[in-house]
Amino acid sequence: MERDNMMHGARTALNQNQEMRDWCENFLKSRERESNQNLSDEEFEKHWRYHRPEIMHAGAAEAVQAFKGEKVKR
């Protein structure tokens, strides 16, 4: 249940802060690219377009935490 609350809060934050949303999308896209190195760039872009919503939803909490950690480093 707590994981669901964290994900919901992260999704809300992403919907309200475009800078954070862009950073988190790039973070998740890069991570997804690393796990799909066997795909050509064109194949990966098709994969990303199709799977982006579920990846963004599932990875929202982790991406927001990474974003906040990156902001602290600056």
The full set of domain ranges for the chain reads 2-73
Burial class (CB in 10 A: 0-12, 13-18, 19+), 27: middle
Q: Describe the crossing of helices 41-73 and 2-16 by its angle, rounded to 10 degrees.
A: 90
Q: What's the rounded Cα separation, in Å, for the pair 28 and 39?
A: 16
> What value does the mean pLDDT take over residues 20-42?
96
Q: What is the model's pLDDT at position 12?
A: 87
Q: Given a cut of 60, is residue 1 above it in pLDDT?
A: no
The pTM of the full predicted model, rounded to 2 decimals, is 0.86
> Quick one: tokens of 70?
């990156």
Q: What's the rounded Cα separation, in Å, for the pair 50 and 53?
A: 8
